[in-house]
Amino acid sequence: TGVQTCALPIYEISTMDKGSEGEIEQFMVLTHPGINKKWVKIARKNGEKCYIVRLSNEIAGLGWVSLVNGVGRLHSLYVKPQYRRIGIGEDILNARLRWLKSNQALSTFTEISRYNIPSSNNVMKVQMKVSGQVFQYFKKDLNKKNEMKNQ
């Protein structure tokens, strides 16, 4: 029997430009419950950068990064399920870390759910360490409003 190989797709990582705001807004609303379309404009206005991978003429994954007073923050990484396990999340992570390094970040943090083992493994590969816990509070009414909006 011959060895079967699967060619990985070729993709580029780009950053958000003004023309892609609408597409990113739609992606964020679908993948991050509770985020509204205004969030993208505000994040961009506040200097946040969004790194994007497109495959088959759609956003396959993206992740945000910010830098304030020398402290970098990586957040909101999401790769669509059909595009997982081919390195997109890891590549977006590394692109954001390179941007932080080139902008003289002194340290970097990220929040990852304890249940998100793939993302935890990726950040550990780049020498990030667990340094605490994140506590979250949701008003009960807020969850119900978001459920009703998504129906």
- The two tokens of residue 60 are 């396959």
Look at residue 113 in the predicted model and tell me its pLDDT.
87
The 10s digit of each residue's pLDDT in 36-89 is 778 888 998 999 999 999 998 899 999 999 999 999 999 999 999 999 999 999
Contacts of 23 (CB under 8 A, 6+ apart): 59
Is residue 2 very low, low, confident or very high in pLDDT (cuts 50, 70, 90)?
Answer: low
Please give the sequence-ordered ranges of beta strands (E in DSSP) within the chain, or none if there are none.
13-15, 49-55, 58-68, 71-79, 107-110
Look at residue 5 in the predicted model and tell me its pLDDT.
59
CB neighbour burial string for 16-26, b if at least 16 within 10 angstroms, e if fewer: beeebeebbbe
pTM for the full predicted model: 0.81
